[in-house]
Amino acid sequence: MERVLVTGACGQLGSELSMALAGIHGSENVIVSDINGPIALLSGMTFEILDVMDRQAISEVILRYGITQVYHLAAMLSAKSEQNPELAWKLNVDGLINVLECCRQQGISRVFWPSSIAAFGPSTPSEKTPQHSVMDPNTVYGISKLTGELWCSYYFNQFGLDIRSVRYPGLISYKAPPGGGTTDYAIEIFHSAIKGEEFVCYLKQDTQLPMMYMPDAIKAAVQLMQAPASQIKVRTSYNISAIDFTAAQLAAEIMQHIPGFKVKYLPDYRQEIAATWPGSLDDSCAMSDWSWQADHNLKTMTEDMIRQLFIVRTTS
Ligand code: SER
């Protein structure tokens, strides 16, 4: 029986991943934590206020609940990080080191930590980016993710800490709002469409980014964490991929369902960030090592997002 701790559990990924983990391990065995909260999505699980910059507090929670696995999700996303680079570095890197060190000291059996497509940079080949490639991120978020990957690999090599990671694309979901990423436009666009409003897109229409629907993001984390350790050959972070589209392609897909939907393109500083990220990733290592395969494509994701958001709108 596992006892699981999730940090950053009130976030876009944390809230839905915590629900999935409660389904797998039993809600009594999933301890959810965040610096603020709790939120309604986490009801039925034990909630702790936890600041990952406070190493002592992490250690106490692990001890108090007999934690055996940690999903460390607390972080600041790309756009927000550019507003406060120093805090982003402290939260994303010092926070990770605190968690890794507590896990090492307390013999945690498995750790999950998300990296990102942001770990790549302007010199990275932008189409079908290989697992092992040039990485020269020029955002503080990307620098923190690349550094984090190297710390994970260091803790695995030096101390045998079984830490596993994926480089998430932009995550699309409707249950909890995203927290200040460059890819958030791909969620906001649905909300505008549902309300019958024109959407002002902060990326150029031909900017292509790798994206993923939340059920696939959850599946990746769960599948990776369930795989036997012998199958995990990459100890920095795995490329995973699902849906690659430009802003204009997403808008066109939404228009299939909501004719007359209008989008205006007014690029801002986030366009500069997006321009340094790959347009698609080669995820063949994840496929061969632990059988990774996404289920959703642009069509099925768009259909489900619109259906779910209409349900939320008519029932609230
Ligand atoms: N979705 C994230 C962001 O835009 C990328 O990891 O910051």
CA of 171 to the centre of ligand 1 (A): 8
265 part of the active site: no
Please name the residues in contact with 170: beta carbons below 8 A apart, sequence gap of 6 or more: 117, 181, 182, 183, 184, 186, 209, 210, 211, 212
The reply to whether 188 and 264 lie within a common domain is yes
Compute, in angstroms, the gap from residue 191 CA to the centroid of ligand 1. Answer: 19
Above pLDDT 90, what percent of the chain?
98
What average pLDDT does range 259-280 have in this prediction? 97
Do 189 and 300 lie in one domain? The reply is yes
Say whether both 133 and 61 belong to one domain.
yes
Active-site residue, selected from the candidate residues 141, 168, 174, 213: 141
pLDDT at 42 over 90: yes
Asked whether the predicted pLDDT for residue 205 surpasses 90, the reply is yes
Q: What is the pLDDT of residue 128?
A: 98
Token pair recorded at residue 80: 């927000």
Give residue 316's pLDDT band: very low, low, confident or very high (50, 70, 90). confident
3-state helix, strand, coil in the chain (%, to 5): 50, 15, 35
Judgement on whether residues 12 and 152 belong to the same structural domain of the protein: yes
Same domain, 250 and 307: yes
The pTM of this model reads 0.98
Q: 180 and 160 in one domain? A: no
Instruction: Indicate whether residue 78 lines ligand 1 (CB < 6 A).
Output: yes
pLDDT the model gives residue 91: 98
**Same domain membership, residue 81 and residue 50:** yes
The residue range of the domain holding 278 is 171-211+242-315
Domain co-membership, 109 together with 25 = yes
Do 81 and 218 lie in one domain? The reply is: yes
Tokens 């756009």 locate to 79
Q: Tell me the mean pLDDT in the region 262-284.
A: 98
Q: Are 221 and 17 in contact (CB under 8 A)?
A: yes
**What is the count of structural domains for the chain?**
2
Q: Which of 239, 256, 283 is the last residue in one of the domains?
A: 239
**Tell me, what CATH number does 164's domain have?**
3.40.50.720
| Whether the CB of 144 sits within 6 Å of ligand 1 | no
Measured distance CA(162)–CA(171) in Å, rounded: 25
CA-closest residue to ligand 1 atom 1: 170
Instruction: Give residue 147's pLDDT.
Output: 98
184 and 306 in a common domain? yes
Residue 122 pLDDT > 90: yes
Q: What pLDDT band is residue 254 in, cutting at 50, 70 and 90?
A: very high
The answer to whether residues 191 and 251 belong to one domain is yes
Q: Is 181 in the pocket of ligand 1 (CB under 6 A)?
A: yes
Q: How confident is the model at residue 179 (pLDDT cuts 50, 70, 90)?
A: confident
> Pocket of ligand 1, candidates 91, 116, 146: which has the most ligand atoms within 8 Å of its Cβ, to mutate?
116
| Cα–Cα distances in angstroms (integers) from residue 238 to residues 123, 149, 169, 282, in the given order | 19, 10, 11, 10
- Whether 247 and 139 share a structural domain: no
Q: How much distance in Å is there from the Cα of 106 to the middle of ligand 1?
A: 31
Q: If you average pLDDT over every residue of the chain, what do you get?
A: 97
Q: Where does a domain end: 239, 254, 284?
A: 239
